[in-house]
């Protein structure tokens, strides 16, 4: 177990998806599930009370920040949770880019590798992004034609998280 590759980091650099995938690919892995999220230039959903919006609105860019040492510790915790739930997952990469990020730019990557696709890798990657959005201390501020506002999450961590 100890030799299985686990990558977790906060970075200001461009995400190199190929390089990250290569780092969690082993002779024994024949499948990878990769989730990446990117900045949207236009959003159809309605906003929150904090930032009321009517229909589509435009985003010029997002500015991400993180409490880096805690964020990396919580990413490690998410990776540990994935390994506990899906023991057949081999490599795990969890990387969040921070700073000023423009539409179409990848902001986050969660990837899991395993021997083959029927091992839970899809669910593991899904779990990874869901947990990152719950417990990893990262925030983003949206900048657009109507000003700027913080995007706030909803999840309240429980003791032990």
Residue 125, Cβ density class (10 Å: 0-12 exposed, 13-18 middle, ≥19 buried): buried
- Asked if residue 141 binds another protein (CB under 8 A), the reply is yes
Among 64, 92, 111, 121, binds another protein (CB under 8 A): 64
Is 107 one of the binding residues for another protein (CB under 8 A)? Answer: yes
Nearer to another protein, 83 or 97 (CB): 97
Write the DSSP symbol of residue 132.
H
- 97 and 7 Cβ atoms separated by less than 8 Å: no
* Contacting residues for 86 by C-beta, under 8 A, at least 6 apart: 112, 114, 119, 120, 121, 123, 124
Residue 102 binds another protein (CB under 8 A): no
DSSP labels, 25-75: --TT--EEEEEEEE--SEE-S---SSS---S-EE-SEEEEEE-HHHHHHHH
Mark 37-56 with x for binding to another protein (rule: CB under 8 A) and - for no binding.
Answer: x-------------------
Q: Which of 73, 87, 118, 146 binds another protein (CB under 8 A)?
A: 73
Answer for which of 69, 80, 117, 146 binds another protein (CB under 8 A) is: 69
Residue closer to another protein (CB basis): 53 or 88: 53
For another protein, the closer CB: 83 or 140: 140
The span of 21-29, 51-59, 65-73, 119-127 binding another protein (CB under 8 A) equals 65-73
Number of residues that bind another protein (CB under 8 A): 33
Instruction: Single out the residue of 80, 70, 62, 39 nearest to residue 136, CA to CA.
Output: 70
Burial class (CB within 10 angstroms; exposed 0-12, middle 13-18, buried 19+) of 36: middle
Binding site for another protein (CB under 8 A): 37, 64-67, 69-71, 73, 96, 107-108, 129, 132-141, 150-157, 159, 161
């Amino acid at each position: 177990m100890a030799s299985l590759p686990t990558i977790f980091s906060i970075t200001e650099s461009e995400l190199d998806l190929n390089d990250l995938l290569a780092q969690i690919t082993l002779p024994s892995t024949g499948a990878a599930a990769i989730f990446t999220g990117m900045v949207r230039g236009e959003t159809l959903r309605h906003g929150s009370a904090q930032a009321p919006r009517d229909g589509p609105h435009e985003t010029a860019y997002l500015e991400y920040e993180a409490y880096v040492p805690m964020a990396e510790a919580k990413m490690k915790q998410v990776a540990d949770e994935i390994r506990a739930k899906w023991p057949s997952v081999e490599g795990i990469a969890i990387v969040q880019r921070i700073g000023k990020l423009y539409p179409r730019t990848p902001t986050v990557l969660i990837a899991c590798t395993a021997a083959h696709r029927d091992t839970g890798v899809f669910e593991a990657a899904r779990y990874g992004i869901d947990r990152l959005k719950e417990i990893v201390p990262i925030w983003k501020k949206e900048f657009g034609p109507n000003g700027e506002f913080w995007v706030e999450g909803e999840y309240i961590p429980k003791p032990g998280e």
